[in-house]
Amino acid sequence: MEISGWLSSTWLVAIAAIVAIPVLKVRLKSWFATFAILVSSVITGAFAIMAIKSNGLETYLYAGRFFGEIPLRIDGLSAWFILIVNFTSLMGALYGVGYMKSYHEQPRNLSFHWSLFVIFHLSMVWVCMVQHSLAFLIFWEFMSLSSMLLVMFEHQKAETLKAGINYLIQMHLGVALLTVAFIWVYASRQSFDFREIAFFFDNNPSLLLFFLFFAGFGIKAGFIPFHTWLPYAHPAAPSHVSGVMSGVIVKMGIYGILRVVSYLSAGSLLLIGEIILTVSVFSALYGILNASVHRDIKKMLAFCTIENIGIIGIGIGMGMVGKSTGNPYIMLAGFGGALLHTLNHSLFKSVLFFAAGNIYKMTHTRNMEHLGGLIRRMPFTAVAFLIGALAIGGLPPFNGFVSEFLIYSGLIEGIKSSSPEISTLMIMSIAGLAMAGGLSLITFTKTFGVVFLGNPRRQTAHEPLEVPAIMQAPMILILALIVAIGLAPGLLLRPLMAAIAPLGLTGGVSEPVNSTFSLLSSVGFASGFVVVLVVILLLLKKFITREAQVDVSPTWGCGYIAPDAGMQYTGKSFSKSLAKLFSMVAIEEKKYKEISPGNIFPKKRTYIARYNEFFETMIIDKALRWMLSFFNLFLFIHNGRIQTYILYGFFFILLVLAGSVLNLF
């Protein structure tokens, strides 16, 4: 069979799954869906690996007279994203098998959910392969709609519905922008093939078109100010869906941006690269700052996704600057760091979302202030979350450090550039990235400390227990990869090079590749040495203190002898001084009544404080309100009286009549 035949057969698998899932027993639905995802992952994954080894595959799929020949191309970039999508979706489905067990009394809802999951996975894979504007938009739409419906699994909850609709609207804003952009190219080149975009960029001023693409894909990716859907959609979705959404669906936005970047002409790279770099630094800082003040675990993780998208964007912008200045080191570190961070983020963010799912399943709350001391009840989840937190904080010896290091090394190389603007931009980006790193330290020490350490803050309905092995298995697999990439990053360099090739780093630049390889090996070695050092010190401690006495007593209460779990430091208070320092961005909203002077005796009181998001409350909501009040001026037209509406029709007919009589049209 030909390549196109094999690839099309994945849709047969999906259709088979959609037909079979509703009639299967409730227990088998999830397994069958996972199996279908596995089959299409194996098929597409095999081609992706072939593409990496052989400099890309190309085939055409005839799809009727309207579409014509649809080009399917798998180059290194597509292959990299296809492999990430396959792995993360597979792990998500496997985790979902265990996670969705508690919903077995809703078989119809489950059939719908799992059928959509299969479509969702396949549409993402096809988005990476199709290079035909119309077909691309169709798969893109499949992906958005299926993920929207996946988010709305608990559709009986009002907030879930609201999050789903918010997501739907924002995604369609994105699609509208992309459609305009593609039509623009089509109108100028008369072809839907992606390659025409490159010709367009070569022959026309490219800034406006690029920013149409950037805004369209940026809404998916979650760059500020296009990020407002993330903090609603991620908490509303079931955890395996949030893991996959945060892990890969936002990366489709990154894929789109990189694809368009690969078509840009050399002249416009520098300015656009600098703009992307700046936007990304602010995305990273803004995302993680909001993450550090929020107390809903999944909302925190959603904001943290914005930070990581920012870090990936820093890599992309830097790579473009490197390309335009002809420095292969910066280019390799930039694009390579961005792609590696894409992979890394999909790994640790899935683990973190799965751990949040474990917590939610066992305690039915996402509010970290109600939790505490879970490490004793759920030790596996705690360790998994800890490793995920260290990795996402970019700390050695885990994988997040490797990609951040690569980006840092590119930025440092960029400082040495001959132009003072680039030097300044790069050093400011370094400072911003360092700040974001410090903020993520606060965010994750807070979350881990408040949720897993100390004493339980509230009695839960039933004692939380560790999740079953079926939910642990995918997490263990991902954790193994996290550690492996952290300790032996050099192994990934070859597929990474293949993935960068479409972005313009071609053969004949073996010198930067070799030096990056040895650099990554040194980093891996040093990371490994940290682990060795810890082990040596632990053994030393054991040896020296082998005869020392060990006592157990209550925590030192500084003289106070009746401490209580409610007196532990809360997540809110942990980040309070930070939030105060950045109060212009992290806007706190408090609701309480002042105690009046006559009020002597204590009464039951309520105090509500929450953090509002700057962009949403200060910009988008305000703009919407202005828009509404403007449109309200025309309320007299839309007044709800049928008589008037009939009159409008009459007016219109008169208008047409008069127009044709007077030859106006």
Partner 1 sequence: MLSLILIVTASFFFTGIIIRTKSILSGRKGPGIFQPMKDIRRLLRKGSVYSETSGFVFKLAPTVYFASVVMAMLFIPFGNQPGLFSFEGDFVFFAYVLALGKFFSIIGALDTGSSFEGMGASREALYSLLAEPAFFLLMGSFALLTGQTSFADIFGTLHFTSQISYAIGALASLVLLAIALIENSRMPLDDPKTHLELTMVHEVMILDNSGFDLGMILQATNLKFAMYGALVANMFLTRGYEIYYSIPIFIGVQFLFALIIGVLESFWARFRMNHNPQFILMITSIALFIFLGVLLMLGKIV
Residues 504-563, interacting with partner 1 (CB under 8 A): 515, 518-519, 522-523, 526, 529-530, 533-534, 537-538, 541, 544-545, 548-558, 563
Burial letters 644-656, b for 16+ CB under 10 A, else e? eeeeeeeeeeeee
Longest dimension (CA), the chain: 109
Instruction: Return the structure tokens found at 303.
Output: 């904001």
450 sits near partner 1 (criterion: CB under 8 A): yes
- Token pair in block for residue 71: 């080009």
Burial letters 369-386, b for 16+ CB under 10 A, else e: bbbbbbbebbebbbebbe
Asked whether 334 and 315 are in contact (CB, 8 A), the reply is yes
Tell me if 180 contacts partner 1 by CB under 8 A.
Answer: no
Nearer Cβ to partner 1 (576/610): 576
**Residue 318 buriedness (CB in 10 A; 0-12 / 13-18 / 19+):** buried
Residues β-bridged to residue 608: 591
Q: Residue from 448, 479, 489, 493 that binds partner 1 (CB under 8 A)? A: 448
Using the minimum distance from each CB to partner 1, give the nearer residue, 222 or 315. Answer: 315
Query: Minimum distance from CB of 124 to partner 1 (Å)?
Result: 32
Roughly how many angstroms between the first and final C-alpha of the chain, as a whole number? 57
The least CB distance from residue 412 to partner 1, in Å, is 5
* Closer residue to partner 1 in complex, CB, 247/397: 397
Q: Check binding of 287 to partner 1 (CB under 8 A).
A: no
Binding track over 454-473 against partner 1, x by CB under 8 A = xx------------------
492 scored as a contact of partner 1 (CB under 8 A): no
Helix intervals (H) in 152-249: 158-189, 195-203, 207-221, 230-236, 239-244
Nearer to partner 1, 253 or 396 (CB): 396
438 binds partner 1 (CB under 8 A): yes
Between 3 and 531, name the residue whose CB sits nearer to partner 1: 531
Instruction: For partner 1, give the closer residue by CB, 180 or 537.
Output: 537
Report the C-alpha gap between 499 and 51 in whole angstroms: 10
DSSP 63: -
* Cβ–Cβ < 8 Å for 227, 99: no
Alpha carbons 372 and 507: distance in angstroms, whole number: 53
Q: Give the residue, chosen from 39, 43, 198, 415, that forms a contact with partner 1 under the rule CB under 8 A.
A: 415
Q: HSE (CB half, 13 Å, CA atoms) of 490? A: 16
CA atoms within 13 A on the CB side of 137: 20
Among the listed ranges 90-98, 220-228, 413-421, 653-661, the one in contact with partner 1 (CB under 8 A) is 413-421
Alpha-carbon dihedral angle through residues 138, 142, 145, 148, given to the nearest 10 degrees: -140
Residues between 347 and 386 with contacts to partner 1, criterion CB under 8 A: 372-373, 375-376, 386
Closest approach of partner 1 to the CB of residue 552, in Å: 5
Distance CA 265, CA 662 (A): 51
**Hey, which residues between 64 and 83 contact partner 1 (CB under 8 A)?**
none
| Positions in 561-590 near partner 1 (CB under 8 A) | 563, 565, 567-569, 573-578, 581
DSSP 390: H
Task: Give the span between the Cα atoms of 167 and 177, in whole angstroms.
Answer: 16
Report residue 610: phi and psi, to 5°.
Answer: -145, 160
Site size with partner 1, rule: CB under 8 A: 83
Binding partner 1 (rule: CB under 8 A), the pick from 15, 275, 427, 483 is 427
* Least spacing, CB of residue 544 vs partner 1, in Å: 6
The residue among 93, 165, 81 whose CA lies nearest residue 130 is 81
Lookup: tokens for 325: 């200045």
* Part in contact with partner 1 (CB under 8 A); list of ranges 338-346, 389-397, 473-481, 498-506: 389-397
**Closest approach of partner 1 to the CB of residue 367, in Å:** 17
Q: How far is the CB of 333 from partner 1 (least distance, A)?
A: 9
394 binds partner 1 (CB under 8 A): yes
Q: Would you count residue 396 as binding partner 1 (CB under 8 A)?
A: yes
* Complex with partner 1: residue 134 or 330, whichever CB lies closer: 330
Query: Which residue in the set 68, 225, 449, 528 belongs to the binding site for partner 1 (CB under 8 A)?
Result: 449
Tokens of 123: 């549409």
Residue 405 near partner 1 by CB under 8 A = yes
**Residues 6+ positions from 109 with CB-CB distance below 8 Å:** 103, 153
CB of 520 to partner 1, least distance (A): 10
Cα-Cα-Cα-Cα torsion 240, 242, 248, 252, nearest 10 degrees, comes to 140
277 binds partner 1 (CB under 8 A): no
Q: Name the one range near partner 1 by CB under 8 A: 8-16, 70-78, 415-423, 497-505.
A: 415-423
Per CB under 8 A, the list member of 393, 474, 486, 504 interacting with partner 1 is: 393
Contact by Cβ (8 Å): 355, 363: no
Contact positions with partner 1 (CB under 8 A) in 206-225: none
Nearest to 430 by CA among 269, 277, 327: 277
Does residue 423 touch partner 1 according to CB under 8 A?
yes
Q: Which of 337, 437, 486, 490 binds partner 1 (CB under 8 A)?
A: 437
Residue 609 sits in the site that holds partner 1 (CB under 8 A): no
Stretch that binds partner 1, among 116-124, 350-358, 394-402, 641-649 (CB under 8 A): 394-402
Residue number, 162 or 416, with CB nearest to partner 1: 416
Q: Which is nearer to partner 1, 247 or 489 (CB)?
A: 489
Structure tokens belonging to residue 365? 């709350």
Smallest separation, CB 144 to partner 1 (Å)? 37
- In the complex, what is the shortest distance from the CB of residue 280 to partner 1, in angstroms, rounded to a whole number? 17
CB of 604 to partner 1, least distance (A): 23
| Separation CA 444–CA 235 (nearest Å) | 17
Structure tokens at 624: 């919407």
> Closer to partner 1 at the Cβ: 218 or 373?
373
| Three-class DSSP category at 507 | coil
Whole-number Å distance between alpha carbons of 430 and 71: 40
- 70, 191 contact by CB (below 8 A): no
Minimum distance of partner 1 from residue 396's CB (angstroms)? 6
